[in-house]
Chains A and B, each alone.
Chain A
Amino acid sequence: MNPGKTESVCPVCLRRIPAERVPRGEDIHLEKTCPEHGFFSAVVWRGGSGAEFGKWRSYVPQETGVPSGCPGSCGLCENHLNKTCCALVEITRRCDLRCPVCFAESGGGGREPGVGELFEIFKKLADAGNTFVQLSGGEPAVRDDLPEIIAAARRAGCKTVQLNSNGIRLGREPEFARALSEAGLSFVFLQFDGMSDDTYAKLRNIRLITEKLKAIEVCDRFNLGVTLVPTLVPGVNDGEIGDIIDFAVKRSPAVRGVHFQPISYFGRYPAPPGDGDRITLPEVLRAVETQTGGKFKIRDFNPSSCDHPCCGFHGDFVVLPRGKIMKLTKKYNPDACCADDAHLKNRSFVARRWTRPVIGADADTSAPPGEKSDYCDMSAFLSRVKSHGFTISAMAFQDAWTLDLERLRRCSLHVSDGASVTPFCARYITKAAPTP
């Protein structure tokens, strides 16, 4: 089998068609031809320098053939290759923003599942062993009964409950944030695109940096860990990668890490993308190294093990006093890629890094204090890694131009609506929007 050959969909009609990963100079493009709508090419990997496409792809166990229903009639089937790490549940379509770019095309109304109905979804997930849920939308915090929803997820057996939020209401209504914390919320995935108001004006149609800082402050007050989630858009905020990381390190332990999401084009977006509208994972990695002045290096990161390795990367760190960084990422073990328990390891990893320890739970009077500690003492190390663990990670979602079915079959981020469980990119993929 030609390793470059795969399958994808036509961006116009979403019909499944053969595709090929083609080297173009130092880049890799996904190219395909629809018998009706013609030829399409999209860059999926730019350059190498420590994150070579061939090497990362080689970690995936060889598979042949994609089942006939994939991805058109997708709901997880026996042919899906990775298990659910994290189940996303949409609790509303409403949103208090109207971003020009939104994968979920939020902003509409429509019927919302009640707390009882959501409990049944959570219970079904938890009973199947899927105990890590993300509450998403829309903007979940527009729901006044969000504390009850979180409590329902906990009651149903979900051990980790993540909230995907723009943070506006959390910052404005501290008592609401307190209620979420008391209901059992584990941590917040905070939409955080940059350090300047201009970035938010471009990406979200509104100046928001004050609201973002306030949300972090309020979450800190109620011991809710915050992971910053920038949507990276070339020419808008790809020059802020280092600034965002610097800020996150300074705000540790309130901020638990940064999770970059290169922009994908599904749902709502201004126009069909050209290659200049894309930023790929190796570019993000190179930017992390150069924009942090080498404080974080490409070699400090590993490809994803519980999704396809070309779908994401992560680095594991501890923030020490004065912003020094201890690096914990180990040498990548290719055998761990897509292993049967990879979803469990990932679930455990993100839960312990992104959740803040209960205040006082790890007080250890035998641990040497603060600044001069080398953290070689086992007790001091444990105390610090729990309180100041820090991650930098990324996930590259696939849209109708970049969808590679080999990657899709390895997805472990799944969307559940109670009736079915669907890989994220299959759930949100949309046909090309007409050119304005």
Chain B
Amino acid sequence: MADGNENWTCGKCGAALEKKKTVFSYLGRSFTHDVDVCPVCGAVRIPRELAEGRMAEVEEQLEDK
């Protein structure tokens, strides 16, 4: 993937990524979130703030005692 400010393109296909609701299977549950997806090959870009933000929060909330 290549960075062009906010406009990401797929490193493999060269297509511009599109924002799309995507299903994540995570810690035994399924979640949806809008992320950038390559319309050609389906590769998904997980931005750092999502990984370290909401996904980390979900992980914390689902952690058993």
Contact = CB atoms under 8 A, between A and B. Distances in A.
A222 interface: no
A376 B63 contact: no
Most chain A CB atoms below 10 A, which of B33, B55, B62, B65: B65
B20 interface: no
B64 A336 contact: yes
Contacts of A379: 33, 54
A284 to B, nearest CB: 18
A221 interface: no
B63 A381 contact: no
B61 interface: yes
B65 A350 contact: yes
A354 to B, nearest CB: 12
A377 interface: yes
A352 B57 CA distance: 12
A382 B65 contact: no
Nearest to A329: B64
Interface residues on B, range: 10 to 19
B30 interface: yes
B57 A377 contact: no
Nearest to A302: B64
A306 interface: yes
Interface in A382-413: 382, 385-386, 389
B58 interface: yes
A82 B2 CA distance: 50
A345 interface: yes
A381 B58 contact: yes
Contacts of A336: 64
Given A379-B54, A382-B57, A306 B65 contact: yes
A196 interface: no
B32 interface: yes
What secondary structure prevails in chain B residues at the interface with A? mixed
A329 B64 CA distance: 7
B65 A386 contact: no
B33 A382 contact: no
Given A376-B30, A378-B31, A378-B32, A330 B54 contact: no
B47 interface: no
B28 interface: yes
A247 interface: no
Interface in A297-336: 302, 305-306, 314, 316, 328-330, 333, 336
Contacts of A350: 65
Contact of A349 (B23, B32, B54, B65): B65
B61 A305 contact: no
A244 to B, nearest CB: 21
B21 to A, nearest CB: 9
A314 B65 contact: yes
Interface string B1-41: 00000000000000000000001100110111100000000
A348 B31 contact: no
A346 B60 CA distance: 12
Contacts of A381: 31, 58, 61
5 contacts: A348-B60, A348-B63, A376-B32, A381-B61, A389-B61
Interface of B: 23-24, 27-28, 30-33, 54-55, 57-58, 60-65
Given A349-B63, A382-B61, 17 more contacts: A305-B64, A306-B65, A316-B64, A328-B62, A329-B64, A345-B63, A345-B64, A346-B65, A348-B60, A348-B65, A352-B60, A376-B30, A378-B24, A379-B33, A381-B61, A385-B61, A386-B61
